[in-house]
Amino acid sequence: MDEKERDVLQKCHDYLIKNINPLPLIDNLYSAGVLTNDDSVRLRQGQVTPEDQSRSLLVDILPKAGPTAFSALTTALQKTDQSPVADHLLERWRKGRPIYVLTFTRCSLATSCEHNTIFTSIFVHACMHNVGYTD
């Protein structure tokens, strides 16, 4: 998980604690390879309340779970009927992302070169990309 993703989890911490159902997330994140068996067992057995499970998942495990942890979390939220929470996270993640303007030249033998501009937000996760194209 990169710094921006950790920052989003931190800023959304209270919202996430109140709004996620951690048990189905644990299974999904384990299946995705984000959680280890030890993580899964610890979350299920060591925490008394769903809020405690969520805190442990969000603070102790996910930030250290590798570069795909944030994407896996948003996917798991969507798969477990918690899409509004995933949408909230993704919206927070998108805020402040730079928008890049890329210019390229397309040439062919029959025509002269044309300049085209692509306006695109560069996102790490494929599910979050927005691409606009103008001729």
pLDDT by residue (tens digit) across 51-67? 889 989 888 899 999 89
Of 30 and 111, the structure prediction assigns the larger pLDDT to 30
pLDDT higher than threshold 80 for residue 115 = no
Q: What are the two backbone dihedrals, phi and then psi, of residue 24, each rounded to the nearest 5 degrees?
A: -65, -30
Q: In the prediction, which pLDDT does 1 show?
A: 84
CA 73, CA 120: separation in Å to the nearest integer?
Answer: 24
Give which of 79, 84, 63, 67 is closest to 9, Cα–Cα: 63
Q: In the prediction, which pLDDT does 106 show?
A: 54
Q: In the prediction, which pLDDT does 76 show?
A: 93
Which residue shows structure tokens 């921006």? 4
Q: In the prediction, which pLDDT does 88 show?
A: 92
Q: In the prediction, which pLDDT does 130 show?
A: 43
pTM of structure? 0.67
pLDDT higher than threshold 80 for residue 47 = no
Q: In the prediction, which pLDDT does 74 show?
A: 93
